[in-house]
Chain A
Amino acid sequence: MSGVRAPALAAGGDAGEGEAAATLSVGMAVALAAIAMTFAALLLAYGIVRVQAPAWPIAGERPVPPLWGYRLAATAVALAGSLAMWRAARGPDRAAQGSDGTTIDRGGRHHVSGSLLVAGLCGAAFLGLQVASFVTLRGRQIGPGAGLGASVVYALSAFHGVHALAALLALAPALYADARRRPLRRARLRAVASFWHLVTGVWVVVFLAVFVA
């Protein structure tokens, strides 16, 4: 049997680092498509509810205050976090890369460390603002069951918040490696960044569709 000599068993096959990075990119694209579909379906549900309602807020329901301060601040830190992740994932220029080109070692560290830290802080701030908005709404006696408008705000914000928390947790290993001055895997950083961008993008759509529209 003719064939190609394979190296030792690697993660899923015989790929080198570059090949593994490309494989991770494809996997990440599929995963992000699936997550995007979940939010698309939730927004579709909101759209149907909204179109069917004779008026919005629905007559007889107590209107949900938009809490512009929280919402605008949350949107701003989400965008800032995504920008920081973009900078971190873009990494240092070629001269500062690790010797194999797939990792970021000490030479390029200063460029990435700051961005990672900013992204982490923005993610934490976003979650804090969302929790604060829930507490404020509850303080005004508007719970998830107050009406359809409140249902939309709570369900979409909370489900999105769970994904924002997941994005923050996904960043944690990179922050840890950075703190321990270990090399950072460029491909993994890019994968985490793409998840961050999706979560930010979804929030912008939620912000525009639920709070602005």
Chain B
Amino acid sequence: MSADLALAPAGFWRRAVFSTDHKVIGRQFLWLGLVFLAVAGALAMLIRWQLAHPGIPVPVVGGVIFPASGGVVSPAAYTALFTMHGTIMIFFALTPILIGGFGNFCLPLMIGARDMAFPSLNMLSYWTMFAATAVLTASFFAPLGPPAAGWTSYPTLSTAVGAPGVAQTMWVVAIYLNGASSVMGAVNYITTVIRLRAPGMTFFRLPLTVWGIWLASILNALFVPVLAAGAVLLFFDRVFGTRFFVAGSAIKPGGDPVLYQHLFWIFGHPEVYILILPAWGIAGDLLAFFARKPAYGYKVTVWALIAIVVLSGVVYGHHMFVSGMSPLLGEGFMILTMIISVPSIVLGVGWLGTLWRGAIRFTTPMLFALGLVTVFGVGGFTGLFLADVLSDVYLHDTFFVVGHFHLTMSAAVLLGAFAAIYFWFPKMFGRMLNEPLGKLHFALTLTTVLVTFGLQLVLGYAGMQRRLADPSAYAFLRPLMPLNRVVSTAAFVMGAGQILFVVNFFFSLFWGPKAPANPWEVGTLEWTVSSPPPHHNFDVIPRVFAGPHELGNPVMKEARGRDYQVQSEELPG
């Protein structure tokens, strides 16, 4: 014990900045993700202002941000806004919070390990991500303006012709660095779970959170490199003048812009699951914890998650139905995509079965987990329309797509991130968040999420295309402007509602009540150590005897006076 403590670095830089401790790195990822969540959220507010009030200067900050246009969001600025909003939200906010933040913090604690398998690589992963954020942030101030080719950065928009200047090249570099960081993290997570589980922690005793993060890491390791390949070729096209994505002509042969779409979506569809798998895992655990019941169909849920991971790698073509794909191929991708809904429904049945006749405790993390299930349910069903070739041809590139993916891979993931923050904040920072404020934050967020993105589905179905800087310029879209204003108002309330979270977060960080070791009365291993945990995590590596959701057991109630069994204790008698 004393030898362990002696190894905790004493100096500030090694302890708090260049630390190899997974808990410190987890907190660093969380801070980074939250900062960029705020940035991307602010960009979303500007987007919604423009869609509700096109041509009217943005109040208060418009003159500072867009001085050349008198505070009005110009079409060029609008294009840059949605590009950076999407890029930051997906790669620099949601991924760092859930996988970087909670993956790092929770994974070793939940499997009974002292740290990640490769602590130095872990630190390098964080600082590579930091470098990526620095490059992307710098691209805001590039001479010809920020990147503006969309978060997908399709050629021809992203080639040297479509996007002159250095900004788009910086975007490519930032994405490559971001991917390198993700792969380093994946190497660590996969290896840590395989090699460093505590004695008795079999794969089917792992918390669902660990399953979610581990499976997402496998997707990260296999598919982020495909995006990297696309980024490398785009970089070569832009910097060295190669011609992979530069379309040829009758007089000059060339490459194929659609080639990039293949590379992007081979990665891009698994990316949806990279984002949502950790959130699903967290929801699975939290629903069981706060329903005070074992997770219904735990093993079936795990197999469903594995099936989704496998299928996610073979369905990417449904993003490209309108790219001139062979109808036969399109039909194949459509069927494969539809098949994914089967294991997805299995997950849903598991969640509902867990809640059924449970002694539900409506804590803030539980509410956010329930919100995730609700929002993902709505978003998931709308995905069926986009998986079908016939309806996708009509709905493609409309706000229906925007509403769908915001519900499934943005709002659901965000609600999962909030569930995780409210649940593990006591373990991370040693203090409790304010519950009433948290519940108010939940109510505002869930309501506005459903209104904002639900009505975007309606806008899309009514024919409003995405990425239009001024929909009111088109006569057939003018009748939709009132609906656009409702969507924007809901979005503004959502944005303002996050102030509650910020206040709660910082107030509790300094003045919140001290957290006990196990405030939620659950049995996974991280709650067996102090809040926050010591540098070495466990004085003694625990031996595991039970699954993660041994709750509501009358034997425990009778013998120990509580309704849950800690994973590292044997059942009495």
Contacts and interface: CB of A to CB of B under 8 A. Distances in A.
Given A34-B186, A42-B229, A49-B255, A3 B540 contact: yes
Contacts of B233: 42, 45, 155
A23 B195 contact: yes
A84 B141 CA distance: 49
Interface in A153-205: 154-155, 158-159
A30 B570 CA distance: 35
A22 B237 CA distance: 41
B99 to A, nearest CB: 15
Nearest to B266: A41
B199 interface: yes
B61 interface: no
A136 interface: no
Contact of B568 (A3, A9, A19, A144): A3
A148 to B, nearest CB: 5
A19 to B, nearest CB: 8
Contact of A12 (B114, B538, B541, B542): B114
A35 B229 contact: no
Select the residue from A4, A22, A37, A147 with max chain B CB neighbours within 10 A: A37
A52 B258 CA distance: 12
B117 A145 contact: no
A8 B3 contact: yes
A30 B540 contact: no
A154 B263 contact: no
Interface string B175-207: 000000001001110111011100100000000
Contact of A154 (B7, B183, B240, B543): B240
A52 to B, nearest CB: 6
B254 A148 contact: yes
B561 to A, nearest CB: 17
Interface string A96-124: 00000000000000000000000000000
B506 interface: no
A144 B236 contact: yes
A128 interface: no
Nearest to B184: A31
A169 to B, nearest CB: 14
B326 to A, nearest CB: 13
B253 A12 contact: no
B543 A4 contact: yes
Given A9-B7, A41-B225, A144-B241, A34 B183 contact: yes
Given A8-B4, A145-B241, A48 B540 contact: no
Given A12-B117, A12-B192, A23-B195, A143 B229 contact: no
Given A4-B543, A12-B119, A14-B541, A27 B191 contact: yes
A11 B118 contact: yes
Contact of A35 (B186, B225, B568): B225
B115 A13 contact: yes
Given A34-B222, A61-B253, A145 B3 contact: no
Given A37-B222, A37-B223, A60-B252, A23 B241 contact: no
A85 B263 CA distance: 33
Interface of A is mostly: helix
Interface residues of B, number: 61
B466 interface: no
B247 to A, nearest CB: 11
A133 to B, nearest CB: 15
B55 to A, nearest CB: 42
B84 interface: no
Interface string A4-27: 111011111111000100110011
A42 B260 CA distance: 11
B317 to A, nearest CB: 13
B191 A34 contact: no
Interface string B268-286: 0000000000000000000
Contacts of B114: 6, 9-10, 12-14
Contacts of B263: 41, 44-45
Interface in A41-77: 41-42, 44-45, 48-49, 52, 58-61
Chain A: interface size category? 35 or more
B536 interface: yes
A42 to B, nearest CB: 5
Contacts of A58: 253
B113 interface: yes
Given A1-B568, A34-B222, A144-B236, A155 B194 contact: no
Interface in B217-267: 221-226, 228-230, 232-233, 236-237, 240-244, 251-256, 259, 262-263, 266
Contacts of B528: 1
Nearest to B228: A38
A141 interface: no
A4 to B, nearest CB: 5
B411 interface: no
A79 to B, nearest CB: 25
A4 B201 CA distance: 13
Given A8-B4, A9-B114, A34-B222, A26 B194 contact: yes
A83 to B, nearest CB: 27
A51 to B, nearest CB: 11
Nearest to A59: B253
A5 to B, nearest CB: 6
Nearest to A52: B256
A210 B175 CA distance: 27
Contacts of A4: 199, 540-541, 543
A27 B541 contact: no
B89 interface: no
A33 interface: yes
B229 A3 contact: no
A30 B259 contact: no
25 contacts: A2-B568, A3-B543, A6-B114, A6-B541, A8-B3, A8-B7, A9-B535, A11-B117, A22-B195, A26-B190, A27-B117, A27-B187, A31-B183, A34-B224, A35-B225, A38-B232, A41-B230, A42-B232, A42-B233, A45-B229, A58-B253, A143-B241, A145-B241, A150-B242, A154-B242
Given A14-B114, A42-B232, 17 more contacts: A1-B568, A2-B568, A3-B538, A5-B540, A8-B3, A11-B117, A13-B195, A23-B191, A26-B190, A34-B222, A35-B225, A39-B229, A41-B225, A41-B230, A41-B263, A59-B253, A151-B243
Closest 3 CB pairs of A and B: A145-B241, A41-B229, A151-B242
Interface of A: 1-6, 8-15, 19, 22-23, 26-27, 30-31, 33-35, 37-39, 41-42, 44-45, 48-49, 52, 58-61, 143-145, 147-148, 150-151, 154-155, 158-159
